[in-house]
Amino acid sequence: MVKIRKAMMEDVKKLHSIITQSTKDAMVLPRPLNSIYSHLRDFFVAESDEGEILGCCALAISWHCLAEVRSLVVVPEARGSNLGAKMVEACVQEARELGVCDIFVLTNIEKFFAKLGFEETDKNVLPQKIWADCINCPLFPDCDEIPMTMNLK
Ligand SMILES: CC(C)(COP(=O)(O)OP(=O)(O)OC[C@H]1O[C@@H](n2cnc3c(N)ncnc32)[C@H](O)[C@@H]1OP(=O)(O)O)[C@@H](O)C(=O)NCCC(=O)NCCS
């Protein structure tokens, strides 16, 4: 039985490894070790019975009432077992507890997020601040990610 739990210090190197691996074949932004350490409290992980980290997902607070789902990865061997959905749901639950009004994601897998209740939105409804990270993205400015949001109120 896989459990979804908050990330711990001992998970950082594995998180870095699976995120880095995923940047090669999926639309996942690289996260330097420094960024994972400083945002460790944002992360959920999926952990197998054997203690292996099978995936991660982060909830990052962006602005008043607004948070982002980031760094969603399930290792290829564990895909298709609902772990991605469960980690996003854990982020949504945490966002509700924090009083967040809207969650957003920038993604190219709209169907996955639509199943979880996210809806495509106009880029302009999101505050300018959230685009700051784009400058560090290898795909900037020709990115085809779609903004999607879920209203929690
Ligand atoms: C996207 C990802 C996290 C999904 O994880 P997963 O654990 O395999 O997905 P789940 O098993 O939870 O899938 C939940 C549902 O979404 C669907 N789904 C999964 N991946 C999908 C994809 N890439 N596109 C569309 N739908 C997808 C599944 O079919 C499933 O639907 P169902 O409930 O009707 O059966 C995983 O494929 C991954 O790590 N991909 C590479 C990194 C990536 O693209 N991250 C997202 C960046 S925004």
Give the span between the Cα atoms of 103 and 22, in whole angstroms.
Answer: 23
Low-confidence winner among 8-12, 62-66, 114-118, 139-143 (lowest mean pLDDT): 139-143
Residue 56, class by beta-carbon neighbours within 10 Å (0-12 exposed, 13-18 middle, 19+ buried)?
A: buried
β-partners of residue 98 are none
Q: Compute the distance from residue 43 Cα to the ligand 1 centre, in Å.
A: 18
Atom 8, ligand 1: residue with shortest CA distance? 79
Domain count, the chain: 1
- Residue position matching structure tokens 């639309």: 27
Atom 4, ligand 1: residue with shortest CA distance? 84
Confidence of residue 77 (pLDDT cuts 50, 70, 90): very high
Query: What residue type is assigned to position 83 of the chain?
Result: L
pLDDT at 84: 98
Whether the pLDDT of residue 136 is over 80: the answer is: no
- Residue position matching structure tokens 């099978």: 54
Atom 17, ligand 1: residue with shortest CA distance? 112
Q: Compute the distance from residue 73 Cα to the ligand 1 centre, in Å.
A: 9
For residue 93, give its domain range.
3-151
- What CATH number is associated with residue 45? 3.40.630.30
Give the span between the Cα atoms of 26 and 11, in whole angstroms.
Answer: 21
Q: Compute the distance from residue 85 Cα to the ligand 1 centre, in Å.
A: 7
Over range 88-94, report the average pLDDT. 98
Q: Compute the distance from residue 140 Cα to the ligand 1 centre, in Å.
A: 24
Over range 21-34, report the average pLDDT. 92
Confidence of residue 131 (pLDDT cuts 50, 70, 90): confident
